[in-house]
Amino acid sequence: MTALCNLDVDGQLLRVARRTGRSDMVPLLLINGLGASLELLEPFAQALGDIETIRIDLPGTGGSPASSIPYRPSGLATLLNRALDLLGCQTVDVLGISLGGAITQQLAWQHADRIRRVVLVSTGTGAIMVPGAPSALLSMLTPRRFTNPDYMADIAPALYGGRLRTNPELAAGLHRVLKSGGTRGYYWQLFGLIGWTSIHWLSQIRQPTLVMSGADDPIVPPVNARIIARLIPNARLHIFDDGHLGLMTSVDELAPIVHDFLSAPAA
């Protein structure tokens, strides 16, 4: 069962979806990518079965209003940490995809006492990383794909890669599950990332970490996952045969891998 609510975190409203799970398992916080609302990860949350999941629309996405000024990843980590306080979650696991992966890295480093295990999907180290295809990066400079379904269907195969290249129905379905948070929120997320990098402190992340990347990712090439897995001391790498949105398009394959990682006994 999934419950939706609006949470006031020190004046910033956040839309939250909380799906119940087993009380003896650590909840999983899911952090979405650039401009994406929490609906995008609903199928993945369901596929995790007995793990409780918490999805939060970042400021300016979905049902969370944009902030007055951009948040840096450090500020978003503080905001989410405070939200977990209000939700009564002492210890959580965290999964972040793309931009959400950057915030997840920041959370794991900045609030290490709260984060038990980490899953990083289709993400990099920010300003210092191997860049994606120029055409894909240019497409991400505008939120048009969230507001125009025809445009999303046209660019999704080349932008996200993987199974979207050969299955246009998957691309058309993306727009149906996304709720745009508006232009300002989208650009605030982009501006907040300028100059950010985790490259100099990744080696200080001590949590067990699963690093996942699609073999055909035009936005974040999989070499970035290899770099992250090499820098984090207790990390393992999984390259899957899909693209940037593999958590959505290969959910039946990837959800069991994440579930097994999160539910495994502590080493």
| Domains along the sequence of the chain with CATH | 2-133+180-263 (3.40.50.1820)
Q: Are strands 92-97 and 28-31 parallel, antiparallel or unpaired?
A: parallel
Q: Who has greater pLDDT, 17 or 166?
A: 17
Instruction: Report d(CA 9, CA 109) in Å as an integer.
Output: 21
Q: What is the mean pLDDT of the chain?
A: 95
> What would the mean pLDDT of 61-82 be, rounded to a whole number?
96
Q: Mean per-residue pLDDT for 32-57?
A: 95
Return the pLDDT at 116. 98
Q: d(Cα 57, Cα 37) in Å, to the nearest integer?
A: 6
**Residue 153 confidence (pLDDT) above 90:** no
Q: Phi-psi region for residue 133, left (φ > 0), alpha (ψ -120 to 50) or beta?
A: beta
Type of residue at 196: W
Residue 100 burial (CB < 10 Å; 0-12/13-18/19+)?
buried
Q: What is the 3-state secondary structure (H, E, C) of 73-109?
A: HHHHHHHHHHHHHHHCCCCEEEEEECHHHHHHHHHHH
State the Cα–Cα distance between residues 99 and 101, nearest whole angstrom: 5
Which amino acid, one-letter code, is at 107?
L
- The answer to whether 98 is a known catalytic residue is yes
pLDDT in tens, 113-134: 999 999 999 999 999 999 999 9
| pLDDT over threshold 90, residue 266 | no
Positive or negative, the CA dihedral 213, 214, 217, 221 is positive
Q: How confident is the model at residue 171 (pLDDT cuts 50, 70, 90)?
A: confident
Query: For residue 204, what pLDDT band results from cuts at 50, 70 and 90?
Result: very high
The fraction of the chain above a pLDDT of 90, given in percent, is 87
Give yes or no for a contact between 39 and 16, defined as CB atoms under 8 angstroms apart. Answer: no
pTM: 0.97
What value does the mean pLDDT take over residues 207-211? 98
Residue of 98, 139, 180, 198 marked active site: 98
pLDDT confidence bin for 173, thresholds 50/70/90: confident
